């Protein structure tokens, strides 16, 4: 869902409000049938709040019925379209949707708005990589490491501080599978998608320098842990 929303913002622009059902990606509902809890945000809710987008949950049966009918249309048509196009993989299906199906669907079913103009506004924000990531806070251990699941992630000293032991840092899981660690405005570690998929045991060193163009904040030089042959654990 985060990837889809980011694509809309990058291609169409930033919007004012998001009207959705009360599904778990959008809202937390403490008790079935009761109002959503707007104070306890999901990852989608957090991202929309950072962008200033108002989220509105659908309570009326008319709104829910309209979305369900659309889902039914897609579920009925898409499998047949994919079968006729002899598509068998996820990658092929995504290419088919972008190159052909979405445009055909819009031509057949789009209804013109009663008013001209658009409320979408082009965004010049450079921090979408951070907004559309999954953050989690961790406290750095005495050996300058953080844990997430089984792996232990090694942080190295920076120019401005030898150790971050005892400090609260934020681990960001990016949409492409990469992992970054921030302390305040500083990026103190970064693993590419391929590196993040590898097991990360304690110990071992390897220099990995993030590309400054990928991050809008000052990046401290850092070394990170590479995979060793022993002590393997599956990365989160």
Residues 6+ apart with CB under 8 A from 94: none
Q: What is the pLDDT of residues 130-155, one digit of tens each?
A: 999 999 999 999 999 999 877 889 99
Nearest to 181 by CA among 231, 144, 142, 126: 144
Mean pLDDT within 88-97? 92
- Residue 151: the pLDDT is 83
- Residue 235: the pLDDT is 40
CA 47 to chain centre: 9
What value does the mean pLDDT of the chain take? 81
d(CA 129, CA 121): 19
Could you tell me the pTM of the whole model?
0.72
Q: What is the pLDDT of residues 48-70, one digit of tens each?
A: 999 999 999 988 777 667 777 87
Q: What is the pLDDT of residues 155-186, one digit of tens each?
A: 988 888 889 999 999 999 999 999 999 999 99
61 φ/ψ angles, rounded to the nearest 5 degrees: -65, -25
Q: Which residues, in sequence order, are bridge partners of residue 180?
A: 172, 190
233 pLDDT band (50/70/90 cuts)?
very low
Q: Where are the domains of the chain?
A: 2-109, 128-224
Q: In the predicted model, is pLDDT for residue 125 greater than 80?
A: yes
Pair 223, 208: CB distance under 8 Å = yes
Q: Which residues, in sequence order, are bridge partners of residue 207?
A: 223
């Amino acid at each position: 869902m985060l990837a889809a929303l980011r694509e809309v913002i990058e291609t169409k622009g930033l919007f004012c409000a998001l009207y959705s059902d009360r599904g778990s990606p959008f809202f937390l509902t403490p008790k079935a049938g009761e109002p959503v809890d707007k104070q306890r945000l999901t990852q989608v809710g957090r991202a929309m709040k950072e962008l200033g987008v108002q989220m509105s949950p659908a309570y009326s049966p008319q709104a829910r019925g309209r979305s369900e009918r659309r889902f039914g249309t897609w579920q009925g048509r898409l499998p047949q379209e994919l079968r006729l196009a002899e598509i068998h993989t996820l990658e092929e299906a995504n290419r088919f949707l972008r190159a052909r199906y979405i445009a055909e669907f819009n031509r057949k079913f789009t209804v013109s708005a009663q008013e001209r103009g658009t409320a979408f506004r082009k965004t010049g924000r450079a921090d979408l990589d951070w907004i559309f990531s999954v953050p989690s806070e961790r406290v750095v251990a005495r050996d300058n490491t953080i844990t997430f699941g089984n792996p232990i992630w090694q942080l190295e000293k920076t120019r401005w501080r030898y150790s971050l032991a005892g400090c609260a840092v934020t681990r960001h899981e990016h949409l492409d599978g990469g992992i970054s660690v921030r302390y305040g405005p500083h990026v103190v570690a970064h693993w590419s998608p391929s590196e993040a998929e590898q097991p990360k045991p304690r110990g071992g060193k390897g220099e990995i320098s993030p590309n400054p163009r990928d991050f809008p904040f000052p990046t401290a030089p850092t070394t990170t842990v590479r995979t060793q042959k022993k002590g393997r654990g599956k990365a989160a």
